A and B are shown apart, each in its own frame.
Chain A
Amino acid sequence: MSGTDGQAGGGQEAGDKGFAPSRRTLLVLGAAAASTVVTVRPALAQTAGSVMNCEIPVPGPQAGGQYIAADGSLVAPGTAGAAPPLARPLRGEEVKSLLRNGVTPAGTDPTSAQAYANYIRRLQAGMSGFTCYASLTPR
């Protein structure tokens, strides 16, 4: 079965299909860290600017009042070294410059910017702001 030439052409039928053959008989199992399977995920990223104007609350309403540690995790209010919650949600464009270039959003303390950026990076589906984050950063 190996080494058969798969035919080009989308949508081959069963019995007439094959993977791209390895041209050499030398096979590399690869480094443990490199991935050999990439799965296509749903995308909204490129269109997001055209379809929505979005905001990310930092932190989300579930965690109102909590502070944000440098690594982006939530900690008790007043924790030393942690950043206070932001009074207003960040606009999509502000988040983009914060994540890409470390630009501190207007009216926020530059020393806290890293904590806010890390909080946003840790957002998961279902959390407030996730759709916005996902739309700003191709994954």
Chain B
Amino acid sequence: MNGGLLVRALRDPASLGPDTDWSGLVSAARAEQLAGTLAMRMAGCDVPPRVAAIFASARRDAAYARTQALWEAEMARRALADLDVPVVLLKGTAFYAADLDACAGRSVGDLDILVPRADIERVEQALLAAGWERLKPADGYDDQYYRQWMHEIAPLIHRTRDRMIDVHHTILPLTARPTPDAESLIADSVELESGLRILAPADIIVHAAAHLIADGDLAGGLRNLWDIDRLLRQFAAADPAFWTTLEERAVRHQLRGAVRRAVRLSHQLYATPVPDGWRAWRPADALFRARLLARNAWGQERRKLLRFAFYVRSHWLRMPPLMLARHLWTKARRGRQPG
């Protein structure tokens, strides 16, 4: 499995010798959206010339990702400036906006922002007025589904820049069993120079863990776990009380289990330094680890059954059983694969 080689390269770049399967490493990194990260991590290491050129172009791609992410954030800021609503950047855009260590080489997809639930209609209207458009038919099942059950409105896309924005009002679907304290996420957020905001450090970890462990099916999880490693190292070094704060915030957002597991996996895979009390390995952790590493030297996903199990789990986590049945039934009648 080349997921393992990729993890080793990220954790300890100097450990790769001349007999490394470089092509397999590059394919795995590209498949996991970690090529730019790996390229930054291995800057200065002794690699074959072709690999050095691949890394140089991956670093240029990351520079472009940074420009685009910050520009989308700025355009959203301009569109929302008159509303006097706190706008909290999430995920990759937040890392770039605050220049956190996790942004080195990182790719960024959509722009994700968090706003107070009470303001979400005004925010959507202001974005629509500034050139964003609804992606799916507004009266369709999907939009209704988003409005009723999700932690975000249906994504909008900008008509000339073709970039998507996800507007969230909390960090987990409303149907999920944990209920994060969205008000305190926003109340404790930190203002940047631009006027945009990012979550408080501990909440950034809680959100990343929620996204990785308590929401999705772990596809692309190595990248999200790498974020967690970088963030934990940076926050713990800056604040001696960080681990205590993290525990408090995790409990407050009902995500202690997810945060604990994310920290254990980060320690296990990326050798993140963590306090003694955070290390005790749970048997199920091995399944998560196997799922995260299910990528071969051709960049293909492996372990079909395990992946399917995590896929089913992701739906189970999001919805109570009866609602899940109804959701799948409605989707199926419309001839759509679940998901």
Q: Which residue of A lies closest to B332 (CB)?
A: A64
Within 8 A of A (CB), among B281-339: 333-337
Min Cβ gap A79→B in Å is 14
Which of A41, A65, A126 has a CB less than 8 Å from the CB of B335? A65
Evaluate contact between A42 and B335: CB separation under 8 angstroms. no
| Cβ–Cβ < 8 Å partners of A62 in chain B | 136, 140, 142, 334, 336
Evaluate contact between B334 and A41: CB separation under 8 angstroms. no
Min Cβ gap A62→B in Å is 6
Q: Residue-by-residue, is B132-157 near A (CB-CB < 8 Å gives 1, otherwise 0)? A: 01011100101000000000000101
A contact face: mostly helix, strand, loop, or mixed: loop
Task: Tally the A-B contacts, defined by beta carbons under 8 Å.
Answer: 39
B108 within 8 A of A: no
| Cβ–Cβ < 8 Å partners of B336 in chain A | 61-62, 64
Once the chains are docked, how many angstroms separate the CA of A62 from the CA of B137? 10
B244 within 8 A of A: no
A111 within 8 A of B: no
Which of A42, A64, A126 has a CB less than 8 Å from the CB of B155? A126
Q: Given the interface contacts A61-B335, A61-B337, A62-B334, does A124 sit within 8 Å of B135 by beta carbon?
A: yes
| Cβ–Cβ < 8 Å partners of A126 in chain B | 135, 155, 157, 164
| Cβ–Cβ < 8 Å partners of B135 in chain A | 124-127
A25 within 8 A of B: no
| Cβ–Cβ < 8 Å partners of B133 in chain A | 124
Evaluate contact between A65 and B334: CB separation under 8 angstroms. yes
Q: Residue-by-residue, is A67-86 near B (CB-CB < 8 Å gives 1, otherwise 0)? A: 00000011000000000000
| Cβ–Cβ < 8 Å partners of B337 in chain A | 61
Evaluate contact between B157 and A124: CB separation under 8 angstroms. yes
Once the chains are docked, how many angstroms separate the CA of A66 from the CA of B336? 12
Min Cβ gap A103→B in Å is 27
| Cβ–Cβ < 8 Å partners of A42 in chain B | 162
Once the chains are docked, how many angstroms separate the CA of A125 from the CA of B134? 11
| Cβ–Cβ < 8 Å partners of B335 in chain A | 61, 64-65
Once the chains are docked, how many angstroms separate the CA of A126 from the CA of B133? 12
Once the chains are docked, how many angstroms separate the CA of A89 from the CA of B133? 26
Min Cβ gap B339→A in Å is 10
Once the chains are docked, how many angstroms separate the CA of A65 from the CA of B140? 13
A47 within 8 A of B: no
B160 within 8 A of A: yes
A50 within 8 A of B: no
Once the chains are docked, how many angstroms separate the CA of A122 from the CA of B135? 11
Once the chains are docked, how many angstroms separate the CA of A126 from the CA of B337? 16
| Cβ–Cβ < 8 Å partners of A20 in chain B | none
Evaluate contact between B155 and A63: CB separation under 8 angstroms. no
A53 within 8 A of B: no
Which of A64, A73, A125 has a CB less than 8 Å from the CB of B334? A64
A39 within 8 A of B: yes
Q: Which residue of B lies closest to A42 (CB)?
A: B162
Min Cβ gap B140→A in Å is 7
Min Cβ gap A10→B in Å is 18
List residues of A whose CB falls within 8 A of some B CB: 39, 41-42, 61-66, 73-74, 124-127
Extra inter-chain contacts (10) besides given A61-B334, A125-B157, A127-B135, CB under 8 Å? A41-B162, A63-B137, A63-B334, A64-B336, A65-B333, A66-B334, A74-B137, A124-B133, A126-B135, A127-B136
